[in-house]
Amino acid sequence: MTQLGIGLIGTGFMGKCHALAWNAVRPTFGGDLSRPKLTMVCAGTEAEAEEAATAFGIGRWTLDWREVVADPAVAAVSIAAPNHLHCEIALAALAAGKHVWCEKPMAISLADAEAMAAAAATAPGRTIIGYNYVQNPLLRQARRLIREGGIGRVTQFRCCMDEDFMAEAATPWGLKDDRRSGYGVLDDFGSHMVGLAHFLVGEIAEVAAVCDRPFASRPVTAGSAEVREVETHDIASALLRFASGVTGSLAASRAAWGRKSGLCFEVHGDRGTIRFDQERPNEIHLFVAGEDPATGGFRRILAGPQHPPYDAFCPAPGHGLGFNDLKVIEARHFLRVIAGAEPAVFDFAEGVKVERVVHALARSAAERRWIEVAGA
Ligand SMILES: NC(=O)c1ccc[n+]([C@@H]2O[C@H](COP(=O)([O-])OP(=O)(O)OC[C@H]3O[C@@H](n4cnc5c(N)ncnc54)[C@H](O)[C@@H]3O)[C@@H](O)[C@H]2O)c1
Protein backbone atom coordinates (compact mmCIF):
# COMPACT_ATOMS: atom_id res chain seq x y z
CA MET A 1 0.00 0.00 0.00
CA THR A 2 1.40 3.39 -0.94
CA GLN A 3 1.52 6.42 1.32
CA LEU A 4 0.17 9.75 0.08
CA GLY A 5 1.58 12.91 1.67
CA ILE A 6 -1.13 15.51 2.35
CA GLY A 7 -0.63 19.25 2.70
CA LEU A 8 -3.49 21.01 4.51
CA ILE A 9 -4.05 24.74 3.93
CA GLY A 10 -6.55 26.28 6.33
CA THR A 11 -7.47 24.81 9.72
CA GLY A 12 -10.86 26.40 10.51
CA PHE A 13 -14.27 24.78 10.06
CA MET A 14 -13.38 23.06 6.81
CA GLY A 15 -9.68 22.53 7.48
CA LYS A 16 -10.53 20.50 10.58
CA CYS A 17 -13.13 18.61 8.57
CA HIS A 18 -10.51 17.71 5.90
CA ALA A 19 -7.98 16.69 8.56
CA LEU A 20 -10.52 14.44 10.32
CA ALA A 21 -11.46 12.93 6.97
CA TRP A 22 -7.86 12.27 5.96
CA ASN A 23 -7.23 10.47 9.25
CA ALA A 24 -10.49 8.47 9.10
CA VAL A 25 -10.64 7.44 5.45
CA ARG A 26 -8.18 4.52 5.46
CA PRO A 27 -9.48 2.87 8.68
CA THR A 28 -13.09 3.40 7.56
CA PHE A 29 -12.74 1.95 4.08
CA GLY A 30 -9.69 -0.30 4.28
CA GLY A 31 -9.01 -2.20 1.07
CA ASP A 32 -6.33 -1.12 -1.34
CA LEU A 33 -6.68 2.66 -0.83
CA SER A 34 -3.39 4.49 -0.45
CA ARG A 35 -2.71 5.61 3.10
CA PRO A 36 -2.92 9.39 3.44
CA LYS A 37 -0.52 11.04 5.84
CA LEU A 38 -0.95 14.65 6.92
CA THR A 39 2.55 15.95 6.28
CA MET A 40 2.43 19.73 6.55
CA VAL A 41 -0.22 22.21 7.67
CA CYS A 42 -0.61 25.93 6.98
CA ALA A 43 -2.93 28.48 8.61
CA GLY A 44 -3.27 32.24 8.78
CA THR A 45 -1.91 32.46 12.33
CA GLU A 46 0.81 30.67 14.29
CA ALA A 47 -1.63 29.70 17.03
CA GLU A 48 -3.98 27.94 14.59
CA ALA A 49 -1.18 26.21 12.66
CA GLU A 50 0.53 25.00 15.82
CA GLU A 51 -2.73 23.77 17.37
CA ALA A 52 -3.67 21.81 14.23
CA ALA A 53 -0.17 20.32 14.01
CA THR A 54 -0.38 19.21 17.65
CA ALA A 55 -3.96 17.95 17.48
CA PHE A 56 -3.46 15.91 14.32
CA GLY A 57 0.18 14.92 14.89
CA ILE A 58 1.37 16.76 11.79
CA GLY A 59 5.15 17.02 11.79
CA ARG A 60 5.53 20.44 10.20
CA TRP A 61 3.56 23.69 10.06
CA THR A 62 4.01 26.99 8.24
CA LEU A 63 2.30 30.33 7.64
CA ASP A 64 3.26 30.30 3.95
CA TRP A 65 1.08 28.05 1.77
CA ARG A 66 3.80 28.16 -0.93
CA GLU A 67 5.96 25.96 1.31
CA VAL A 68 3.20 23.34 1.39
CA VAL A 69 2.79 23.38 -2.37
CA ALA A 70 6.56 23.15 -2.97
CA ASP A 71 7.16 20.35 -0.44
CA PRO A 72 8.30 17.17 -2.26
CA ALA A 73 6.72 15.05 0.51
CA VAL A 74 3.27 16.50 -0.30
CA ALA A 75 1.46 14.68 -3.11
CA ALA A 76 -2.03 16.16 -2.57
CA VAL A 77 -3.16 19.53 -1.25
CA SER A 78 -6.38 20.23 0.68
CA ILE A 79 -7.40 23.85 0.12
CA ALA A 80 -9.61 24.97 3.01
CA ALA A 81 -8.47 28.58 3.07
CA PRO A 82 -10.68 31.64 2.37
CA ASN A 83 -12.29 31.84 -1.08
CA HIS A 84 -10.02 34.56 -2.50
CA LEU A 85 -6.95 32.28 -2.08
CA HIS A 86 -8.34 29.18 -3.83
CA CYS A 87 -7.26 30.05 -7.37
CA GLU A 88 -3.69 31.09 -6.64
CA ILE A 89 -3.06 28.08 -4.40
CA ALA A 90 -4.70 25.62 -6.82
CA LEU A 91 -2.74 26.90 -9.82
CA ALA A 92 0.54 26.70 -7.91
CA ALA A 93 -0.27 23.20 -6.62
CA LEU A 94 -1.20 21.93 -10.09
CA ALA A 95 1.96 23.48 -11.56
CA ALA A 96 3.96 21.61 -8.90
CA GLY A 97 2.33 18.33 -9.97
CA LYS A 98 0.11 17.95 -6.89
CA HIS A 99 -3.44 16.59 -6.66
CA VAL A 100 -5.89 19.23 -5.42
CA TRP A 101 -9.00 18.97 -3.22
CA CYS A 102 -10.37 22.51 -3.25
CA GLU A 103 -13.23 23.78 -1.13
CA LYS A 104 -16.14 25.47 -2.82
CA PRO A 105 -16.54 28.00 -4.32
CA MET A 106 -13.79 27.20 -6.82
CA ALA A 107 -12.80 30.87 -7.13
CA ILE A 108 -14.17 34.36 -6.82
CA SER A 109 -14.14 35.28 -10.51
CA LEU A 110 -15.22 33.15 -13.46
CA ALA A 111 -11.92 33.95 -15.19
CA ASP A 112 -10.07 32.39 -12.24
CA ALA A 113 -12.29 29.29 -12.25
CA GLU A 114 -11.75 28.92 -16.03
CA ALA A 115 -7.98 29.25 -15.50
CA MET A 116 -8.12 26.52 -12.83
CA ALA A 117 -10.05 24.20 -15.17
CA ALA A 118 -7.61 24.90 -18.02
CA ALA A 119 -4.61 24.19 -15.79
CA ALA A 120 -6.17 20.97 -14.49
CA ALA A 121 -6.85 19.76 -18.03
CA THR A 122 -3.13 19.45 -18.76
CA ALA A 123 -1.65 18.91 -15.29
CA PRO A 124 -0.74 15.43 -14.02
CA GLY A 125 -2.60 16.02 -10.74
CA ARG A 126 -6.27 15.08 -10.26
CA THR A 127 -8.79 17.55 -8.82
CA ILE A 128 -12.06 17.62 -6.91
CA ILE A 129 -14.23 20.39 -5.45
CA GLY A 130 -15.68 20.04 -1.95
CA TYR A 131 -19.37 19.57 -2.77
CA ASN A 132 -19.74 17.22 0.21
CA TYR A 133 -23.54 17.04 0.21
CA VAL A 134 -23.60 15.00 -3.01
CA GLN A 135 -21.51 12.37 -1.18
CA ASN A 136 -24.51 11.50 1.02
CA PRO A 137 -25.32 7.83 0.25
CA LEU A 138 -29.02 8.73 0.11
CA LEU A 139 -28.43 11.41 -2.52
CA ARG A 140 -26.62 8.79 -4.58
CA GLN A 141 -29.73 6.63 -4.11
CA ALA A 142 -31.92 9.57 -5.17
CA ARG A 143 -29.82 10.07 -8.30
CA ARG A 144 -30.02 6.36 -9.13
CA LEU A 145 -33.79 6.46 -8.70
CA ILE A 146 -34.12 9.48 -10.97
CA ARG A 147 -31.84 7.98 -13.63
CA GLU A 148 -33.61 4.62 -13.53
CA GLY A 149 -37.03 6.26 -13.97
CA GLY A 150 -38.18 5.67 -10.38
CA ILE A 151 -40.24 8.89 -10.50
CA GLY A 152 -40.81 8.82 -14.26
CA ARG A 153 -39.82 11.75 -16.46
CA VAL A 154 -38.48 14.66 -14.38
CA THR A 155 -40.90 17.59 -14.54
CA GLN A 156 -39.51 20.08 -12.00
CA PHE A 157 -36.55 20.67 -9.64
CA ARG A 158 -36.75 22.88 -6.55
CA CYS A 159 -33.97 23.60 -4.10
CA CYS A 160 -33.65 25.84 -1.03
CA MET A 161 -30.63 26.41 1.17
CA ASP A 162 -31.22 28.38 4.34
CA GLU A 163 -29.15 29.08 7.43
CA ASP A 164 -29.33 31.87 10.00
CA PHE A 165 -25.72 32.80 10.76
CA MET A 166 -26.22 36.24 9.13
CA ALA A 167 -29.75 36.81 10.47
CA GLU A 168 -28.74 38.93 13.48
CA ALA A 169 -28.43 42.62 12.57
CA ALA A 170 -25.95 43.18 15.43
CA THR A 171 -23.46 40.62 14.06
CA PRO A 172 -20.30 42.62 13.32
CA TRP A 173 -19.03 43.17 9.78
CA GLY A 174 -16.78 40.30 8.65
CA LEU A 175 -15.33 38.41 5.71
CA LYS A 176 -18.80 37.22 4.60
CA ASP A 177 -19.77 40.90 4.09
CA ASP A 178 -16.59 41.66 2.18
CA ARG A 179 -16.81 41.65 -1.64
CA ARG A 180 -13.39 39.93 -1.65
CA SER A 181 -15.22 36.76 -0.53
CA GLY A 182 -17.41 36.84 -3.66
CA TYR A 183 -21.07 37.70 -4.30
CA GLY A 184 -22.23 36.32 -0.95
CA VAL A 185 -24.89 33.64 -0.71
CA LEU A 186 -24.47 32.74 -4.40
CA ASP A 187 -20.89 31.55 -3.80
CA ASP A 188 -21.58 30.25 -0.30
CA PHE A 189 -24.78 28.29 -0.98
CA GLY A 190 -25.51 28.79 -4.68
CA SER A 191 -22.47 26.73 -5.65
CA HIS A 192 -23.70 23.78 -3.51
CA MET A 193 -27.24 24.08 -4.91
CA VAL A 194 -26.17 24.32 -8.54
CA GLY A 195 -23.81 21.37 -7.99
CA LEU A 196 -26.72 19.40 -6.58
CA ALA A 197 -28.95 20.37 -9.51
CA HIS A 198 -26.29 19.22 -12.00
CA PHE A 199 -25.78 16.00 -9.99
CA LEU A 200 -29.48 15.09 -9.83
CA VAL A 201 -31.07 16.56 -12.96
CA GLY A 202 -28.41 17.76 -15.43
CA GLU A 203 -26.81 20.98 -16.58
CA ILE A 204 -28.56 24.32 -16.14
CA ALA A 205 -28.78 26.33 -19.36
CA GLU A 206 -30.60 29.56 -18.47
CA VAL A 207 -31.29 31.52 -15.27
CA ALA A 208 -33.22 34.54 -13.94
CA ALA A 209 -32.25 35.70 -10.45
CA VAL A 210 -32.84 38.36 -7.82
CA CYS A 211 -30.49 39.03 -4.91
CA ASP A 212 -31.01 41.01 -1.75
CA ARG A 213 -29.33 42.02 1.50
CA PRO A 214 -31.39 42.20 4.69
CA PHE A 215 -28.97 44.68 6.29
CA ALA A 216 -27.28 47.51 4.39
CA SER A 217 -24.57 47.86 7.05
CA ARG A 218 -23.21 46.13 10.15
CA PRO A 219 -21.32 47.34 13.26
CA VAL A 220 -17.56 47.38 12.67
CA THR A 221 -17.09 45.52 15.97
CA ALA A 222 -19.56 43.95 18.42
CA GLY A 223 -21.68 46.66 20.05
CA SER A 224 -20.05 49.50 18.10
CA ALA A 225 -22.17 52.44 16.87
CA GLU A 226 -19.84 52.79 13.90
CA VAL A 227 -21.08 50.77 10.92
CA ARG A 228 -19.61 49.52 7.66
CA GLU A 229 -21.50 48.89 4.42
CA VAL A 230 -22.37 45.25 3.63
CA GLU A 231 -20.90 44.50 0.20
CA THR A 232 -22.41 41.04 -0.42
CA HIS A 233 -25.88 39.50 -0.74
CA ASP A 234 -27.32 37.20 1.91
CA ILE A 235 -30.50 36.34 -0.04
CA ALA A 236 -31.05 35.04 -3.59
CA SER A 237 -33.96 33.54 -5.52
CA ALA A 238 -33.85 32.21 -9.06
CA LEU A 239 -35.74 30.49 -11.84
CA LEU A 240 -33.89 27.86 -13.87
CA ARG A 241 -34.17 26.15 -17.21
CA PHE A 242 -32.07 22.99 -17.62
CA ALA A 243 -30.49 22.02 -20.95
CA SER A 244 -33.08 19.20 -21.07
CA GLY A 245 -35.89 21.80 -21.01
CA VAL A 246 -36.95 20.95 -17.43
CA THR A 247 -37.57 24.04 -15.30
CA GLY A 248 -36.87 24.68 -11.63
CA SER A 249 -36.08 27.14 -8.90
CA LEU A 250 -33.49 27.97 -6.24
CA ALA A 251 -33.91 30.03 -3.07
CA ALA A 252 -31.11 30.73 -0.62
CA SER A 253 -30.66 32.76 2.52
CA ARG A 254 -27.93 33.19 5.11
CA ALA A 255 -30.43 35.19 7.21
CA ALA A 256 -33.34 32.73 7.61
CA TRP A 257 -34.00 32.60 11.35
CA GLY A 258 -34.29 29.08 12.69
CA ARG A 259 -32.81 27.32 9.68
CA LYS A 260 -29.47 25.72 10.53
CA SER A 261 -28.60 23.45 7.63
CA GLY A 262 -31.70 23.84 5.51
CA LEU A 263 -30.52 22.40 2.22
CA CYS A 264 -33.77 21.00 0.86
CA PHE A 265 -34.76 19.76 -2.56
CA GLU A 266 -37.71 18.22 -4.34
CA VAL A 267 -37.54 16.51 -7.68
CA HIS A 268 -40.94 15.97 -9.26
CA GLY A 269 -41.48 13.43 -12.01
CA ASP A 270 -44.55 12.40 -13.98
CA ARG A 271 -44.74 9.23 -11.82
CA GLY A 272 -43.48 10.38 -8.44
CA THR A 273 -41.54 12.79 -6.21
CA ILE A 274 -38.35 12.69 -4.12
CA ARG A 275 -37.84 15.05 -1.15
CA PHE A 276 -34.76 15.67 1.01
CA ASP A 277 -33.80 18.01 3.88
CA GLN A 278 -30.17 18.17 5.07
CA GLU A 279 -31.43 18.87 8.62
CA ARG A 280 -32.59 15.21 8.48
CA PRO A 281 -29.71 13.88 6.35
CA ASN A 282 -30.42 10.20 6.96
CA GLU A 283 -33.77 10.06 5.21
CA ILE A 284 -35.29 10.72 1.81
CA HIS A 285 -38.98 10.71 1.08
CA LEU A 286 -40.34 8.97 -1.99
CA PHE A 287 -43.83 9.11 -3.42
CA VAL A 288 -44.68 6.81 -6.30
CA ALA A 289 -47.93 7.36 -8.19
CA GLY A 290 -50.45 4.59 -8.60
CA GLU A 291 -50.82 3.46 -4.99
CA ASP A 292 -54.20 3.16 -3.32
CA PRO A 293 -54.94 6.78 -2.25
CA ALA A 294 -56.47 5.46 0.98
CA THR A 295 -53.15 4.04 2.19
CA GLY A 296 -50.55 5.52 -0.15
CA GLY A 297 -48.31 8.48 0.57
CA PHE A 298 -44.67 9.48 0.94
CA ARG A 299 -42.42 6.67 2.11
CA ARG A 300 -39.55 7.58 4.44
CA ILE A 301 -36.40 5.73 3.37
CA LEU A 302 -33.80 5.56 6.15
CA ALA A 303 -30.10 5.37 5.34
CA GLY A 304 -28.62 1.94 5.89
CA PRO A 305 -25.94 -0.46 4.66
CA GLN A 306 -27.95 -1.06 1.49
CA HIS A 307 -26.97 2.53 0.50
CA PRO A 308 -23.21 2.25 -0.06
CA PRO A 309 -20.88 3.41 1.35
CA TYR A 310 -22.97 3.72 4.55
CA ASP A 311 -21.97 0.10 5.23
CA ALA A 312 -18.31 1.11 5.63
CA PHE A 313 -19.26 3.21 8.67
CA CYS A 314 -21.90 1.08 10.33
CA PRO A 315 -23.55 -2.32 9.73
CA ALA A 316 -26.83 -1.24 11.36
CA PRO A 317 -29.50 0.66 9.36
CA GLY A 318 -30.97 3.90 10.64
CA HIS A 319 -28.08 4.75 12.96
CA GLY A 320 -27.15 7.72 10.81
CA LEU A 321 -24.15 9.41 9.23
CA GLY A 322 -23.17 13.02 9.94
CA PHE A 323 -21.69 16.00 8.09
CA ASN A 324 -18.08 14.98 8.82
CA ASP A 325 -18.77 11.48 7.47
CA LEU A 326 -19.66 13.04 4.10
CA LYS A 327 -16.14 14.48 4.03
CA VAL A 328 -14.68 11.02 4.77
CA ILE A 329 -16.63 9.66 1.79
CA GLU A 330 -15.34 12.60 -0.27
CA ALA A 331 -11.75 11.81 0.80
CA ARG A 332 -12.23 8.20 -0.30
CA HIS A 333 -13.68 9.42 -3.61
CA PHE A 334 -10.62 11.63 -4.10
CA LEU A 335 -8.23 8.74 -3.35
CA ARG A 336 -10.07 6.58 -5.90
CA VAL A 337 -10.00 9.40 -8.46
CA ILE A 338 -6.23 9.75 -7.92
CA ALA A 339 -5.83 5.98 -8.33
CA GLY A 340 -7.86 6.07 -11.57
CA ALA A 341 -10.48 3.77 -10.00
CA GLU A 342 -13.43 6.11 -10.62
CA PRO A 343 -14.12 9.41 -12.40
CA ALA A 344 -14.46 12.59 -10.34
CA VAL A 345 -18.05 13.70 -9.77
CA PHE A 346 -16.90 17.33 -9.58
CA ASP A 347 -13.37 17.84 -10.85
CA PHE A 348 -12.32 21.31 -12.00
CA ALA A 349 -13.90 20.64 -15.45
CA GLU A 350 -17.31 19.96 -13.87
CA GLY A 351 -16.73 22.59 -11.20
CA VAL A 352 -16.30 25.36 -13.74
CA LYS A 353 -19.70 24.46 -15.21
CA VAL A 354 -21.17 25.14 -11.76
CA GLU A 355 -19.26 28.43 -11.58
CA ARG A 356 -20.62 29.50 -14.99
CA VAL A 357 -24.14 29.11 -13.58
CA VAL A 358 -23.25 30.98 -10.35
CA HIS A 359 -21.85 33.89 -12.36
CA ALA A 360 -24.84 33.82 -14.73
CA LEU A 361 -27.10 34.09 -11.66
CA ALA A 362 -25.17 37.11 -10.42
CA ARG A 363 -25.26 38.73 -13.85
CA SER A 364 -28.97 38.06 -14.19
CA ALA A 365 -29.64 39.75 -10.84
CA ALA A 366 -27.47 42.74 -11.78
CA GLU A 367 -29.01 43.15 -15.26
CA ARG A 368 -32.57 42.12 -14.24
CA ARG A 369 -33.02 39.67 -17.12
CA TRP A 370 -32.72 36.00 -18.11
CA ILE A 371 -29.13 34.96 -18.85
CA GLU A 372 -27.99 31.99 -20.90
CA VAL A 373 -25.22 29.99 -19.22
CA ALA A 374 -22.14 30.08 -21.43
CA GLY A 375 -21.22 26.62 -22.68
CA ALA A 376 -24.35 24.88 -21.31
N1 LIG B 1 -18.06 22.32 1.74
C2 LIG B 1 -18.73 22.96 2.67
O3 LIG B 1 -19.83 22.56 3.06
C4 LIG B 1 -18.12 24.20 3.27
C5 LIG B 1 -18.59 24.67 4.50
C6 LIG B 1 -17.96 25.80 5.04
C7 LIG B 1 -16.93 26.42 4.37
N8 LIG B 1 -16.53 25.94 3.15
C9 LIG B 1 -15.44 26.59 2.42
O10 LIG B 1 -14.21 26.30 3.07
C11 LIG B 1 -13.32 27.42 2.96
C12 LIG B 1 -12.88 27.80 4.37
O13 LIG B 1 -14.01 28.17 5.11
P14 LIG B 1 -14.06 27.95 6.70
O15 LIG B 1 -15.49 28.08 7.07
O16 LIG B 1 -13.31 26.76 7.09
O17 LIG B 1 -13.29 29.27 7.16
P18 LIG B 1 -12.56 29.52 8.55
O19 LIG B 1 -12.52 31.00 8.71
O20 LIG B 1 -13.15 28.68 9.63
O21 LIG B 1 -11.08 28.98 8.29
C22 LIG B 1 -10.22 29.59 7.35
C23 LIG B 1 -8.83 29.07 7.58
O24 LIG B 1 -7.98 29.62 6.57
C25 LIG B 1 -6.81 30.12 7.23
N26 LIG B 1 -6.16 31.16 6.43
C27 LIG B 1 -6.51 32.46 6.29
N28 LIG B 1 -5.61 33.10 5.50
C29 LIG B 1 -4.70 32.17 5.14
C30 LIG B 1 -3.52 32.21 4.34
N31 LIG B 1 -3.10 33.34 3.75
N32 LIG B 1 -2.80 31.07 4.18
C33 LIG B 1 -3.21 29.91 4.77
N34 LIG B 1 -4.33 29.83 5.55
C35 LIG B 1 -5.05 30.94 5.72
C36 LIG B 1 -7.29 30.62 8.57
O37 LIG B 1 -6.22 30.76 9.47
C38 LIG B 1 -8.25 29.49 8.95
O39 LIG B 1 -7.52 28.41 9.49
C40 LIG B 1 -14.11 28.52 2.25
O41 LIG B 1 -13.74 28.54 0.91
C42 LIG B 1 -15.57 28.09 2.39
O43 LIG B 1 -16.38 28.51 1.33
C44 LIG B 1 -17.09 24.83 2.62
Mutate which of 16, 45, 103, 134 for ligand 1? The one with the most ligand atoms within 8 Å of its CB, which is 103
- Does residue 244 contact residue 153 with C-beta atoms inside 8 Å? no
pLDDT attached to residue 376? 63
What is the CA(46)–ligand 1 centre distance, in A? 15
What is the CA(331)–ligand 1 centre distance, in A? 17
HSE toward the beta carbon, residue 275, CA cutoff 13 A: 12
Question: Is the CB of 104 within 6 Å of ligand 1?
Answer: yes
Count other C-beta atoms under 10 Å from residue 23's C-beta: 18
What is the CA(127)–ligand 1 centre distance, in A? 18
The closest alpha carbon to 310, from 328, 292, 295, 336, belongs to 328
For ligand 1, atom 5, which residue shows the shortest CA distance? 14
- Does residue 43 contact residue 52 with C-beta atoms inside 8 Å? yes
**26-69: pLDDT as tens digits:** 999 998 888 999 999 999 999 999 999 999 999 999 999 999 99
**140-167: pLDDT as tens digits:** 999 999 999 999 999 999 999 999 999 9
pLDDT attached to residue 374? 85
Count other C-beta atoms under 10 Å from residue 134's C-beta: 21
pLDDT attached to residue 176? 96
For ligand 1, atom 18, which residue shows the shortest CA distance? 12
Residues 361, 372: Cα–Cα separation, whole Å: 10
For ligand 1, atom 21, which residue shows the shortest CA distance? 12
From first CA to last CA, the distance across the chain in angstroms is 41
pLDDT attached to residue 32? 82
For ligand 1, atom 25, which residue shows the shortest CA distance? 10
Domains with residue ranges and CATH for the chain: 3-132 (3.40.50.720), 134-372 (3.30.360.10)
Question: CA distances (Å), 162 to each of 24, 201, 274, in order?
Answer: 29, 21, 19
In the chain, % of residues over pLDDT 70: 99
Residue 81 Cα: closest atom of ligand 1: 24
The string over 81-106, giving b where at least 16 C-beta atoms fall within 10 Å of a residue's C-beta and e elsewhere, is bbbbbbbbbbbbbbebebbbbbbbbb
What is the CA(172)–ligand 1 centre distance, in A? 18
Question: Is the CB of 44 within 6 Å of ligand 1?
Answer: yes
Mutate which of 9, 14, 41, 134 for ligand 1? The one with the most ligand atoms within 8 Å of its CB, which is 14
